[in-house]
Structure 1
Amino acid sequence: MVIGVQKLHNNLKSELTDTIKQNYSVQEINTTLQWLLEYTLGITRTDILIDKEVALSAIQQEQLNRSIERLNREEPIQYILKECEFYGRKFVVTPNVLIPRPETEELVHLIVQQHTKNKSLKVLDIGTGSGCIAITLNKELSQSKVWALDNSPNALTIARQNALNLQSSIELVEINILVDLPKIKQLDIIVSNPPYVLNSEKANMRQNVLNYEPPTALFVEDADPLLFYRRISEICTHQLASVKWVYLEVHEKFAKEIKELLIKGRFLETHIVQDAQHKDRFIVAYR
């Protein structure tokens, strides 16, 4: 079947349920369908604008139908396609790892900007998930040595696949930092995007997050929201005194408290940095 891309795009949009149309903006829906067409048919944004005609096979139509069914169950498009772009590179993602967010790209960009002249660094990424932070830093800071820790063997399998695909030499380590200590003696930088969403905030979150992304990588108990940050500060203070820089993605409600934790850990030059949405999203600490 030969069909114009715009008509195909509109046909797919018409098959989305009212729930999807109500819960997602027009821009989100259009972007999702654009990704789906690009992945399934090799369609580009330009092809959509010029209404290019494409020959749609029965197999491709079935692929699109199955993907629309999954979208209607609010499954994230990144898990359907099994990939997500991060800092200009494509990473494999499955429900075993979080989908990388734009805010985390901002965190990585902060590090790259501040260390572009000093690429020979020893870096530890705590809670690596897909490996997006560790691998990107290893590629951008080309002479760096990067360790990536996670307590999930399934997540480390995905990170290992991404490292192989992107020809990155990161060292992957399975460890629960709340229980054990990393066996690394000299480090320059610790970076982490640990779980920081409160359990009480689940009621305000979309089903595409709650039903599909790994909860242990997202949520912390309301009674102890600083659990991971306190542990990172302890590691820097008692085991890894060589660490000069710490970069953290944080919950905007607790940025000031996390800053104080690091100051107590002898990081006297500590700053809260806002993200593109003007929220207190990152802590940058130096000693």
Structure 2
Amino acid sequence: MTIKGIKNSLYQELNTLYNDDEIEAIFRYYIEIRLNILDSFLFNDDKIEFKTPHFEKDLSELKSGKPIQQVVGYAFFYDYFFKVNEHTLIPRPETEELIYLITEKYKNNLPLKIIDLGTGSGCIPITLNKLYPTANVQAIDISTEALKIAKENNENLKTDVKFIHQDLLEDFQLDYKYDLIISNPPYIRDLEKKEMHINVLQHEPHLALFVSNDDPLVFYKKVAQFGKLHLNNDGKIFCEINQYLGKETQEMFLRYYEHAILHKDISGNDRIIEIYN
């Protein structure tokens, strides 16, 4: 099958699910990952035949709404490819902004001990371990299936993150105090589901996404309480947050800490909160 044939098929079959820009992004991702073709001059080629034994199956999965990252098995985050599946949240660009902010804050002051609360694919702690290779990095998650993927990514990317099976909502203590606590916990309220695409609702783990309308900050309260026990005196907490609940999240953290600073994402939405005493 030619690359142009693949492109035409994707546009014909996916136009009821995605707009043209989204299909173009899916096409480019597919060509680069599945066929390992990075030369954009070939993206409209209709002469060279490529072996595409997976294409019919892949197309069927894409038509069902399955995200392209799950179809090809990898998501690109920061500078690395992370293995993902239906048990892990697909890393978002907003989470990359969280990493960028941390690197801005820790240019010269190396965080020695780091923990990620609710790690999923492990993209946050593994990326930080790449950036700060001498740091002691740990991560927890409630999902054993997600931790399997995180450990594979840890091995594939040759990092040394320690993963712990733990429910953040349970009362627990660890032996360490940390210079940096990070969390991208579930924060989307049930009432916001109507805004979401089918590929998220039907194919990504609800455990990693949604919270009740009645207590949408439940995980952030646990992060705050964890920090009171485990954050070093000059340490910081960074969390990705619900853009609609920035002020509420800030007010909650200010009950525990002296400072809670909101940072906006590239779209101008409240997206990250930085907490410290």
Deviation per CA, 1:170-194: give whole Å up to 9, x if none.
1100011211324133211110000
Mapped to 1, the partners of 2:5 and 2:44 lie a distance apart of: 12
> Which residue in the other structure is 1:222 paired with?
213
- Structure 1: unaligned runs, 5 residues or longer: none
> Which residue in the other structure is 2:8 paired with?
10
> Which residue in the other structure is 1:86 paired with?
77
Determine whether 1:284 maps to 2:274.
yes
Q: CA deviation at 1:48?
A: 3.0
> Which residue in the other structure is 1:43 paired with?
37
Q: CA deviation at 1:156?
A: 0.5
Aligned partner of 1:161 among 152, 156, 175: 152
Deviation per CA, 1:97-136: give whole Å up to 9, x if none.
0000000000011111211212352111000000000000
Determine whether 1:240 maps to 2:264.
no
Aligned partner of 1:105 among 92, 96, 99: 96
- Pick closer, same or farther for the CA change 1:224–1:49 going to 2, 3 Å: same
Contact (CA 8 Å) 1:275, 1:281: kept in 2 or not?
yes
Mapped to 1, the partners of 2:199 and 2:121 lie a distance apart of: 18
Q: CA deviation at 1:49?
A: 4.8
Matches within 5 A, 1:118-267: 118-237=109-228, 239-242=229-232, 244-266=235-257
Mapped to 1, the partners of 2:80 and 2:35 lie a distance apart of: 20
> Which residue in the other structure is 1:275 paired with?
265
Contact (CA 8 Å) 2:188, 2:209: kept in 1 or not?
yes
Amino acid at match of 1:33: F
Q: CA deviation at 1:66?
A: 1.2
Mapped to 2, the partners of 1:91 and 1:150 lie a distance apart of: 17
Deviation per CA, 1:36-93: give whole Å up to 9, x if none.
2223322225233573742323xx2x41111111111111000000000100100000
CA RMSD between the two structures: 1.7
TM-score between the two structures when normalised by the length of structure 2: 0.94
Q: CA deviation at 1:31?
A: 1.4
Determine whether 1:24 maps to 2:22.
no
